[in-house]
């Protein structure tokens, strides 16, 4: 048999799946709340009913004793005369008592319908009430069958030594059943009223706000980039209001993150296209640079190696231009380098020596060495020096001092150098995300990738890059690179071999 396929969920204009229509849920949070409220109120009523039915049984028997005491007082008003038997029977029937017995000065006086009964099934003394015994006796009478006789002893009237009555258990059971029925009806009414009030209060205070939160989550998950799906906090001062504010912050952060991810994906596609064409152009430039190397002109011979080195470095960059964001940088191929010579190479590429408006200084001693990957450390210095060059600007005002210098030293197995400038410095708003891509730019139109790449390469060397607070104008970026750690076991094995 062929089954009909379910229709696909509707989607909005942007291709996002629209949130599904809310279906009826018999065991929703509201219905569960209503049911549990009814159950809990009924449980509370049962716990109240157990002692109350025992108390009702004691009160009913005590009322019988009090009524019987009034009858005996009326009957003993004229001791010489005895009451007619039919009058005694009517009196006992009117108070629903089978027999009355009273002791006075050792004598016992009886009033009974058919003589004093001898088959009494149970005896209860109301002068000594025990709660558990009262509860047990009440439920025994409530669930018993037949019409047994029970004798009840109570406080004797004034001038008497003892007082007892005999009643039918069926009458007590009927009274207990009527009382239980009334309690049940009253409990149901109280339960319904309480449940409706609690249901209404909790629904408006908790359930509906929670439903609003869940609806916002469902809508946001269907179209996270749609600004209309963001929840608007209601401004409540309780836990629900805090949850709304946190959800709004989370949705906003996630929306911005998704937008940034999409931007990065688009950027990656654009860069891959540019990278393809750029590699072809650089390959042609490399051919021309090779021909320049064979020229006899002294000036060409001087600059040709630097041009060739720069083009080779650029070709190497194009091969790994998409590495950032998809994979980490290659492991550093470390060797001892002259830090001063590496800084000079960077300065030559940026045309800092002999710059028209910027004064350049390499203050690193020629004997300072660093254990690092030459190409990767060149990129770190290149990014930091280019940022410094952009920071000092190209104004021709002679009153403005534009200076860039690099200083550094080696202490033990750690080499540190600082790239300094006399620019306006790093604003406070950019310090928090200074080394994050697309967030740490200090100038308009910048991407912040330079500092992010420098930080990643420095961490790969086991070092640290940071912004140093120094008095005066400008910014100071310090890079610390430790030497490679020595593995003693490897050295021992090498010596042993």
CA distance 430 to 424: 13
- Cβ contact 410:480 at 8 Å: no
Q: What is the pLDDT of residue 204?
A: 80
Long-range CB contacts (within 8 A, 24+) of 134-140: 134/54, 134/55, 134/57, 134/58, 135/50, 135/51, 135/53, 135/54, 137/54, 137/57, 138/53, 138/54, 138/56, 138/57, 138/176, 139/53
Q: What is the pLDDT of residue 17?
A: 46
Sequence length of the chain is: 497
Task: Return averaged pLDDT per consecutive 10 residues of the chain, 497 residues in all.
Answer: 45 45 59 78 82 88 84 62 64 78 66 62 80 85 82 76 82 89 85 81 79 81 77 78 82 82 72 64 61 65 66 61 53 93 89 87 95 92 90 77 94 95 84 71 60 89 91 88 77 57
- Residue 459: strand, helix, or coil: helix
Give the pairing type, strands 149-153 and 122-125: parallel
Radius of gyration of the chain (CA): 50
Termini Cα distance of the chain: 79
CA distance 46 to 69: 34
Long-range CB contacts (within 8 A, 24+) of 156-159: 156/102, 156/103, 157/69, 157/72, 157/73, 157/102, 159/104
Q: How far is CA 382 from the centre of its chain?
A: 44
Q: Which two tokens stand for residue 303?
A: 């600059």
Crossing angle of the two packed helices 239-293 and 298-319, in degrees rounded to 10:
140
Of 482, 478, 456, the C-alpha closest to 466 is 478
Provide the 10 A C-beta neighbour count for residue 228. 7
E strands, 235-381, are 335-338, 359-362, 369-372
Give the pairing type, strands 359-362 and 403-411: parallel
CA distance 252 to 254: 5
CA distance 490 to 484: 14
With a CB cutoff of 8 Å and minimum separation 6, the contacts of 35 are: none
Q: What is the pLDDT of residue 21?
A: 47
Helix H segments across 156-207? 169-202
Phi-psi region of 412 (alpha: psi -120 to 50; beta: other; left: phi over 0): left
């Amino acid at each position: 048999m062929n089954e009909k396929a379910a229709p696909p969920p509707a989607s909005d204009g942007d291709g996002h799946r629209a949130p599904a229509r809310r279906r009826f849920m018999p065991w929703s949070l509201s219905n569960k709340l209503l049911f549990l409220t009814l159950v809990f109120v009924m449980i509370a009523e049962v716990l109240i009913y157990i002692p109350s039915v025992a108390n009702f049984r004691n009160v009913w028997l005590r009322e019988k004793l009090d009524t019987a005491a009034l009858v005996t007082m009326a009957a003993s008003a004229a001791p010489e005369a005895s009451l007619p038997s039919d009058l005694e029977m009517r009196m006992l029937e009117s108070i629903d008592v089978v027999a009355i017995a009273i002791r006075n000065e050792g004598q016992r006086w009886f009033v009974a319908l058919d003589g004093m009964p001898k088959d009494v099934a149970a005896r209860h003394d109301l002068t000594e009430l025990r709660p558990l015994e009262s509860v047990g006796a009440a439920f025994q009478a409530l669930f018993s069958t037949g019409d047994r006789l029970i004798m009840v002893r109570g406080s004797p009237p004034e001038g008497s030594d003892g007082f007892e009555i005999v009643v039918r258990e069926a009458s007590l059971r009927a009274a207990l059943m009527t009382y239980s029925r009334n309690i049940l009806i009253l409990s149901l009414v109280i339960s319904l009223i309480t449940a409706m009030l609690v249901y209404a209060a909790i629904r408006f205070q908790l359930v509906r706000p929670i439903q609003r939160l869940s609806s916002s989550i469902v809508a946001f998950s269907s179209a996270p980039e749609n600004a209309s799906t963001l929840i608007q906090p209601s401004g409540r001062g309780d836990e629900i209001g805090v949850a709304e504010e946190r959800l709004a912050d989370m949705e906003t952060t996630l929306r911005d993150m998704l937008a940034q991810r999409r931007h990065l994906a688009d950027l990656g596609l654009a860069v891959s296209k540019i990278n393809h064409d750029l590699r072809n152009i650089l390959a042609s430039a490399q051919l021309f640079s090779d021909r320049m190397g064979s020229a006899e002109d002294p000036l060409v011979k001087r600059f040709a190696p630097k041009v060739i080195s720069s083009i080779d470095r650029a070709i190497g960059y194009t091969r790994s231009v998409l590495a950032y964001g998809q994979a980490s940088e290659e492991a550093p191929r470390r060797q001892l380098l002259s830090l001063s010579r590496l800084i000079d190479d960077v300065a030559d590429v940026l045309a800092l020596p002999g710059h028209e408006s910027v004064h350049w200084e390499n203050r690193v001693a020629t004997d300072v060495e660093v254990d690092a990957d030459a190409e990767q450390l060149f990129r770190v210095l290149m990014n930091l020096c280019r940022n410094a060059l952009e920071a000092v600007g190209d104004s021709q005002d002679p009153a403005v001092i534009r200076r860039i210098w690099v200083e550094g030293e080696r202490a033990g197995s750690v080499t540190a150098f600082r790239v300094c400038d006399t620019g306006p410095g790093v604003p406070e708003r950019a310090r928090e995300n200074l080394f994050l891509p697309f967030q740490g730019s200090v100038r308009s139109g910048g991407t912040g990738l330079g500092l992010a790449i420098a930080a990643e390469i420095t961490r790969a060397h086991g070092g640290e890059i940071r912004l140093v607070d120094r008095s005066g104008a400008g910014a100071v970026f310090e890079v610390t690179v430790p030497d490679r750690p020595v593995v003693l076991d490897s050295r021992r094995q090498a010596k042993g071999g």
